[in-house]
Amino acid sequence: MVYCRGVRGATTADANTPEAILEATRQLLALMIRQNGIKPEDIASAIFTTTPDLNAEFPALAARQLGWMNVAMLCGHELDVPGALPRCIRVLIHWNTTKKAEEIVHVYIKGAEKLRPDLSSLPPVDWEELERWIQAHLNREAKPSGRADPASSSVTGKLSLAVGEHPDGASPQASSSPSEPRGK
């Protein structure tokens, strides 16, 4: 029987820059995918949150870069709790799977282990090998399928966005006040 299971993960970004947020999120997602055998077509949705000190990029863009083109995703901020782990990115993936809840591997890395020490039992991570896996998936997902003109392909168009660039042309810095929307 297939169940919708929650897969949790958290990490920290080195800085409040688009590059740091995307790199940290891609690493976290890659580990979550590999530890659980997650395929994009089995993901119902994903929720990404950041602490308020991270606002330079939407972490969901990292998932799009890894090929999650048909996954419903939402980004938001965590509560601004005094003493909370700074520069933290959290993910909750709703995954359709036959696995039992106790078989799910939740991933907490780069200082986020203290959020859930009971779930932080990953073997040592080979970060260089993980980065090669990420790059291979970025390169594979960015290649056009041959069925459509790459210049007009929405998949290629989304993947070719520069860091910090959004489909509507807005940049994270384009808003003049924190209450105005910054992009899609």
Check 8, 113, 131, 182 and give the catalytic one.
Answer: 8
Q: Which of the following is catalytic: 19, 64, 113, 182? A: 64
Is 64 a known active-site residue?
A: yes
Show the CA angle centred on residue 35, arms to residues 29 and 40, nearest 5°.
Answer: 50
Is residue 8 annotated as part of the catalytic site, yes or no? yes
Q: At what angle do helices 127-142 and 18-36 cross, to 10 degrees?
A: 100
CA distance 24 to 48: 12
Q: Which of 113, 116, 165, 182 is catalytic?
A: 116
Instruction: Specify whether 90 is catalytic.
Output: yes
Could you say which of 78, 113, 131, 165 is catalytic? 78
Selecting among 5, 57, 88, 108, the annotated active-site residue is: 108
Q: Pick the catalytic residue from 5, 26, 87, 90.
A: 90
Exactly one of 75, 113, 165, 182 is catalytic; which is it? 75
CA angle 16, 17, 22 (to 5 degrees): 105
Query: Which active-site residues does the annotation give?
Result: 8, 64, 75, 78, 90, 108, 116
